[in-house]
Amino acid sequence: MADKTLVILISGRGSNMEAILDAKLPARVAAVVSNSPDAPGLAIAARRGIPTAVVDHRRHGDRAAFDAALAAEIEKHAPDLVALAGFMRILGPEFVARYAGRLMNIHPSLLPSFPGLHTHRRALEAGVRIHGCTVHFVNPGLDDGPIIVQAAVPVFPGDTEEALAARVLREEHRVYPQAVRWFCEGRMRLAAGKVVIDAARPREQVLLSPAVEK
Ligand code: GRF
């Protein structure tokens, strides 16, 4: 099967992008595009020889204009999949419809709990015992859409937001490459609005953080 073409969208650090680049997937990352010229992930991509581009949201009058400019940049590469990796702009319904079924996002919570920002702080405030991350296809709603894979981590008494974020981030770096791999291998389909993975080991679709540390 021919390698799939990917475009990765970032806004910041780019550690999920790096995890995808490191995963040796049957894919070619054609470009990394950021809405912010200051995103540290751009330099990381460039050092690895990946073409980068900036579509600065501040230079576009409204969301529709930004979305159109972003789509034009993406279309230079005609990707099979667009992966949002810490991309912090909300994309409008037209953009989302254009990329239906080939637009993925990673969110640092066990959706549908805690969509939006500050997920780790909100998880601590809510007193949940289990937190985690979700890779999903993107719908027009905020952090909404068919779930592909989730990983759960424990929340320990006395956890700080930073400690919890770091524990979740380790899992993000496992699940995102896994989801992209399933996509690239053509093992993913939507049935009645849910993602079905045709995986050798179907239970891989649920990832649990290693057992609670003693
Ligand atoms: C990740 O926690 C991601 O889930 C969230 O923003 C963070 C981005 O981190 N949407 P990075 O840029 O991938 O390092």
| Tens-digit pLDDT profile for residues 158-202 | 999 999 999 999 999 999 999 999 999 999 998 999 999 887 776
Number of domains in the chain: 1
> Residue 92 is part of a domain; what is its CATH number?
3.40.50.170
The Å distance, Cα 106 to ligand 1 centre, comes to 7
Q: Are 40 and 20 in contact (CB under 8 A)?
A: no
The Å distance, Cα 208 to ligand 1 centre, comes to 19
Boundaries of domain holding 68: 4-205
Residues 6+ apart with CB under 8 A from 186: 1
Q: Is residue 213 part of a domain?
A: no
Q: What pLDDT, on a 0 to 100 scale, did the predictor assign at position 198? A: 86
Secondary structure class of 74 (helix, strand, coil): helix
Secondary structure class of 213 (helix, strand, coil): coil
Q: Is residue 61 part of a domain?
A: yes
Q: Is residue 214 part of a domain?
A: no
Atom of ligand 1 nearest to the CA of 172: 4
Active site residue 131: no
The 8-class DSSP code of residue 65 comes to H
Bridge pairing between strands 188-191 and 194-197: antiparallel
> Does ligand 1 lie within 6 Å of residue 86's CB atom?
yes
Neighbours of 191 (CB within 10 A): 8
Q: Which residue has the tokens 């912090």?
A: 88
pTM, whole model, 2 decimals?
A: 0.95
Q: Is residue 176 part of a domain?
A: yes
Q: What pLDDT, on a 0 to 100 scale, did the predictor assign at position 205? A: 67
Can you tell me the distance from the alpha carbon of 123 to that of 120, in angstroms, rounded to the nearest whole number? 5
Q: How does pLDDT run across 127-144, given as a tens digit for each residue?
A: 999 999 999 999 998 899
Task: Please identify which of the residues 107, 131, 136, 173 carries the catalytic annotation.
Answer: 107
Q: Is residue 22 part of a domain?
A: yes
Q: Is residue 211 part of a domain?
A: no
Q: What pLDDT, on a 0 to 100 scale, did the predictor assign at position 209? A: 65
Q: Which residue has the tokens 């501040």?
A: 58
Q: What pLDDT, on a 0 to 100 scale, did the predictor assign at position 182? A: 93
**pLDDT for 210 beyond 70:** no
